[in-house]
């Protein structure tokens, strides 16, 4: 007889007879789950998988860099500066990976690579910030100028942006273990 007070493991193993791409892995990982993993104190309610769908494959954490222009600058000029240096703006997914692994919890960091069009016609991008000891993920207007305190998360143009690579032979997604069989 099973003890009703004992909680059974919810992990199960699924055998997969083909390679799973990184894109398929990301499609199984919702933005909301990534946000939860980062353990932020505030997240704007419009930051959802619906408003920020996954496009392409995020770059690895080691490739991400912070660009600090250190002056007031327009979004247009920031994007031009990023491209001239051989980079592209990071996506919100890359921003969350950065937040979990490398963010010092102090710098204001912007991901210009994921833009959401609000029904009012304005475009918004995700920003990491802090307020006192609290870590925030909020939306800022894409248009306009950025103050000198902002840093822009960038990755080399050759990174991610749609590249599909095979995943390792074993992978766990949302408590389900996947194993590649040959």
* Helices marked H in 17-140: 22-28, 31-38, 75-84, 92-101
Residue 172 has pLDDT above 80, yes or no: no
Per-residue pLDDT, 157: 86
Residue 74 lies in a domain: yes
Domain presence at residue 27: no
Range of the domain at 126: 40-164
Q: Is residue 169 part of a domain?
A: no
Is 55 contained in some domain?
Answer: yes
Q: For the residues 31-39, what does the mean pLDDT come to?
A: 85
According to DSSP H, which parts of the chain are helical? 22-28, 31-38, 75-84, 92-101
CATH number of the domain bearing residue 61? 3.10.100
Q: What is the pLDDT of residue 116?
A: 93
pLDDT attached to residue 169:
58
In a domain? residue 45: yes
Q: Is residue 10 part of a domain?
A: no
Sequence-ordered strand ranges (E) for 26-182: 42-43, 65-67, 73-74, 87-89, 108-117, 123-131, 134-141, 145-146, 150-156, 170-173, 176-180
Total number of domains in the chain: 1
Residue at 127 is within a domain: yes
Per-residue pLDDT of 48-62, as tens digits, reads 988 998 776 667 767
Q: Does some domain include residue 48?
A: yes
- Between 72 and 181, the higher pLDDT residue: 72
Phi, psi of 57 (to 5 degrees): -110, 125
Tokens 């247009």: give the residue.
76
With 0.75 as the threshold, say if the pTM is over it. Answer: no
């Amino acid at each position: 007889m099973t003890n009703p007070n004992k909680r059974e493991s919810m992990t199960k193993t699924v055998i997969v007879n083909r390679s799973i791409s990184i894109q398929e892995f990301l499609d199984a990982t919702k933005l909301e789950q990534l946000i939860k993993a980062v353990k932020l104190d505030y997240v704007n309610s419009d930051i959802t998988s619906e408003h920020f769908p996954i496009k392409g494959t995020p770059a690895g954490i080691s490739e991400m860099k912070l660009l600090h222009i250190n002056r007031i600058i327009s979004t247009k000029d920031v994007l031009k500066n990023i491209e001239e240096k051989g980079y592209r703006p990071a996506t919100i997914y890359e921003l969350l990976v950065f937040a979990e692994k490398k963010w010092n919890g102090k710098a204001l960091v912007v991901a210009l690579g994921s833009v959401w069009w609000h029904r009012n016609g304005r475009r918004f991008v995700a920003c990491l910030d802090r307020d006192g000891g609290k870590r925030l993920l909020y939306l800022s207007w894409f248009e306009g100028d950025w103050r000198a305190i902002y840093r822009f998360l960038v990755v080399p143009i050759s990174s991610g942006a749609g590249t599909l690579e095979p995943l390792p032979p074993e992978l766990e997604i949302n408590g389900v273990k996947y194993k590649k069989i040959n």
